Amino acid sequence: MHRLLLSPSVRLITDSFCRCKSFEKGRRNVFERLEFSRTFVDSQDLGVSDIGAKSVTGVLQSQIVNALHLGERDKALSILSTLNCRNDPLRTDDFVCILDYCARSPDPLFVMETWRIMEEKEIGMNSRCYMLIIQALTKGGYLEEAFNWLSYLGGIPHSRPDLPMYNIFLSGCIRMRSMGHIDSCLELMENQMVGKSEDTYWELLKVCTIHWAIVLLIMT
């Protein structure tokens, strides 16, 4: 697949990732325990069966996901390195289950580790990969990094963000009450002439509710 050339926006994403890693030690225990309260998700739910039970990369993906679920982050990184060192050509499907788990968890740091390897391997990205990365960053609280992805994709022909990507970002901004990022997202959507769906209007309704709740608190 065609590999996207690095632009200033991508370098900005990479720089943000490097800054994220500097905080990894301090946030590490938090992210390692995010999934302990959840019921374990089997490999079929994670999509590994779609790749094939006998696929080596499928097994490695399953092992990485299981290690992350159990809080064994170093083990997950080691297996990811093994996946990276394979000589046979890798495809998008060889990473999508990892990205999916990171989006659900969320695990913004590991999703960026995975993306870095995909870049090194010159693996083409599709809209599903972009959406999962944005979801992982947004749900993990890395709004600026997620917005950088939306901005970057918006400037690439045939790779503009889908409306659900914006809705995911708006939902995360509302959850964290980041009005600045909400304004930036709406401005970007207008500049990119992105339409709005029922989900978009529902998220905007939440913004109005929060706004008026704050006003009422101030008035009282």
Residue 154: inside a domain, yes or no? no
Q: Give me the average pLDDT of each 10-residue run along the chain (220 residues).
A: 43 52 45 37 41 70 96 96 88 95 96 94 91 96 95 78 90 89 89 79 69 49
Residue 102: inside a domain, yes or no? yes
Structure tokens at 132: 């999962």
* Residues 136 and 173 grouped into a single domain: no
- In which residue are the tokens 């970007």 written? 188
**Separation between Cα atoms, residue 125 and residue 118, nearest integer Å:** 8
pLDDT of res. 215: 44
* Residues 78 and 113 grouped into a single domain: yes
* Residues 133 and 211 grouped into a single domain: no
* Domain end point (choices 111, 142, 173): 142
* Residues 23 and 106 grouped into a single domain: yes
Residue 13: inside a domain, yes or no? yes
Quote the domain boundaries for residue 219: 162-220
* Residues 114 and 183 grouped into a single domain: no
Residue 148: inside a domain, yes or no? no
Residue 51: inside a domain, yes or no? yes
* Residues 66 and 132 grouped into a single domain: yes
Structure tokens at 93: 């499907």
* Residues 102 and 31 grouped into a single domain: yes
pLDDT of res. 11: 52
pLDDT of res. 145: 96
* Residues 57 and 112 grouped into a single domain: yes
pLDDT of res. 219: 54
CA 160 to chain centre: 16
pLDDT of res. 17: 52
* Residues 27 and 77 grouped into a single domain: yes
**Separation between Cα atoms, residue 48 and residue 61, nearest integer Å:** 7
Residue 96: inside a domain, yes or no? yes
* Residues 15 and 65 grouped into a single domain: yes
| HEC readout, the chain | CCCCCCCHHHHHHHHHHHHHHHCHHHHHHHHHCCCCCCCCCCCCCCCHHHHCCCCHHHHHHHHHHHHHHCCCHHHHHHHHHHHHCCCCCCCHHHCHHHHHHHHHCCCHHHHHHHHHHHHHCCCCCCHHHHHHHHHHHHHCCCHHHHHHHHHHHHCCCCCCCCHHHHHHHHHHHHHCCCHHHHHHHHHHHHHCCCCCCHHHHHHHHHHHHHHHHHHHHHHC
pLDDT of res. 155: 78
* Residues 127 and 205 grouped into a single domain: no
* Residues 70 and 137 grouped into a single domain: yes
Number of structural domains, the chain? 2
Residue 99: inside a domain, yes or no? yes
Tell me the chain's radius of gyration from C-alpha atoms.
18
* Domain end point (choices 110, 142, 174): 142
Residue 112: inside a domain, yes or no? yes
**Separation between Cα atoms, residue 40 and residue 66, nearest integer Å:** 9
